[in-house]
Amino acid sequence: MLYRTAGQFKTSYAADHALFPVRQDAWLLGVILLFAFVIFPLTASEFTFKALLTPVLVYSLAALGLNILTGYAGQLSLGTGAFMGVGAYACFKLITIFPEMNVLVAILASGFFSAAVGVAFGLPSLRIKGFYLAIATLAAQFFLVWLFEKWAWLCNYSSSGSIQVPTVEMFGTPVFGPNALAIVQYYFVLGVVALITIAAINITRGRIGRMWKAVRDMDIAAELVGINLMKAKLSAFAVSSYVVGVAGALFVFLWRGAAEPVAFDIALSFRVLFIAIIGGLGSVLGNFLGAILIVALPVILNTLPATFGIPISSAMVEHLNTMIVGALIIAILVIEPHGLARFWQIIREKLIMWPFPH
């Protein structure tokens, strides 16, 4: 009823290529954006920004980066955490070497470093695929974290070996560091994430996106329709690592405030991979759904029992969280391998048909 498509006709290919061929989708997105840009900032507390909103956006972006590589181009990667680290360290070096650099430029530029590293570690993908490639990217993960620990130049020889985010202003407002307001940081992250998401949607629905999907679905056939496999795979690694690197820079500079090399270890890679899998491989929307679930779950587990007066220790929350996430991953892999995004797709199709079954 709400989703009736009757009466919406396309008279040109341009209209048919619109992002939302169905008008209701555009309205729905409008409502979500209204919440993200106006209602949440007006109502959220400092805690909500720090524990929910900003992390959801950062993880969504990281998962989007991984999804471009794994979901669209079909190249499995376990090195996401380390590529996020490359972005974070690159951003740190940029703002300490060029203190007058605009922070937005610094964040967006740091992605290029991780893109270069990503391409270098993507070279094995030209020869190996599947699990063997995953192992090769795992090597990147361990090597890069080791490098972050051993190469003191990266953290400006700080005695703790971690990066401390200095206070940096943009247009007179502190954006980085302890003095920055959570709402400013939220808007900054929201802007960057929105920008990159739009770009990612556009890439994935155009020629390059089709090239990646062709390589994912059948690489031999892709080569025989004239796709240069080397270009397709390496471009996927470059774009993916760029997005992941920017997410890493946001992760440290606009959320955590400080980071040790250990923050980028394999646990982070797996968390991002879980978000991508739960959300749905090969979908942009899924990353956001997955991130909301993974970030919100521990917060809900923390607050919900307390509101009902059930005593629950923080260790128990941690255990429960791990168990539920584990169970969810298994359940989703069994029930719907395309994740939450596919669930939404099915619901939407049913709504369009409703009340008829076909």
Give me the residues that bind other proteins (CB under 8 A), please: 13-14, 16-17, 199, 202-203, 205-211, 213-214, 216-218, 220-229, 235, 239, 282
Of 64, 57, 324, 280, whose CA–CA distance to 182 is shortest? Answer: 57
CB of 29 to other proteins, least distance (A): 16
Residue placing its CB nearer to other proteins in the complex, 17 or 350 = 17
SS3 at position 165: coil
Decide whether 95 or 281 has the Cβ nearer to other proteins.
281
Cβ-based neighbours of 53, under 8 Å, separated by 6 or more: 40, 44, 186
Task: Give CA–CA dist 36/33, Å, rounded.
Answer: 5
Shortest Å, Cβ 238 to other proteins = 9
Q: HSE, CB side, 13 Å, CA atoms: give it for residue 36.
A: 20
Q: 94 or 281, CB closer to other proteins? A: 281
For residues 39 and 218, which CB has a smaller minimum distance to other proteins in the complex? 218
The least CB distance from residue 207 to other proteins, in Å, is 5
Quick one: tokens of 72? 């669209």
Nearest distance from C-beta of residue 170 to other proteins, angstroms: 23
Minimum CB separation of residue 75 from other proteins in Å reads: 15
Query: Considering the complex, what minimum distance in angstroms separates the CB of residue 14 from other proteins?
Result: 6
Q: CA 220, CA 286: separation in Å to the nearest integer? A: 28
The amino acid occupying position 99 is P
CB of 16 to other proteins, least distance (A): 8
**Cα of 278 vs its chain's centroid, Å:** 13
Considering the complex, state which of residue 5 and residue 45 has its C-beta at the smaller distance from other proteins.
5
Is 66 or 115 the residue whose CB approaches other proteins more closely?
Answer: 115
Of the two residues 167 and 228, which places its CB atom closer to other proteins in the complex? 228
**Cα distance between residue 319 and residue 273, in whole Å:** 20
Query: What span, in angstroms and rounded, lies between the C-alpha atoms of 87 and 108?
Result: 9
Contact 279, 290 (CB under 8 A): yes
Least gap, CB of 345 to other proteins (angstroms): 12
Unique residue bearing structure tokens 């009340």: 355
Phi, psi of 167 (to 5 degrees): -80, 120
340 sits in the region (left: phi over 0; alpha: psi -120 to 50; else beta) called: alpha
Q: Which is nearer to other proteins, 122 or 209 (CB)?
A: 209
CB 268 within 8 A of CB 81: yes
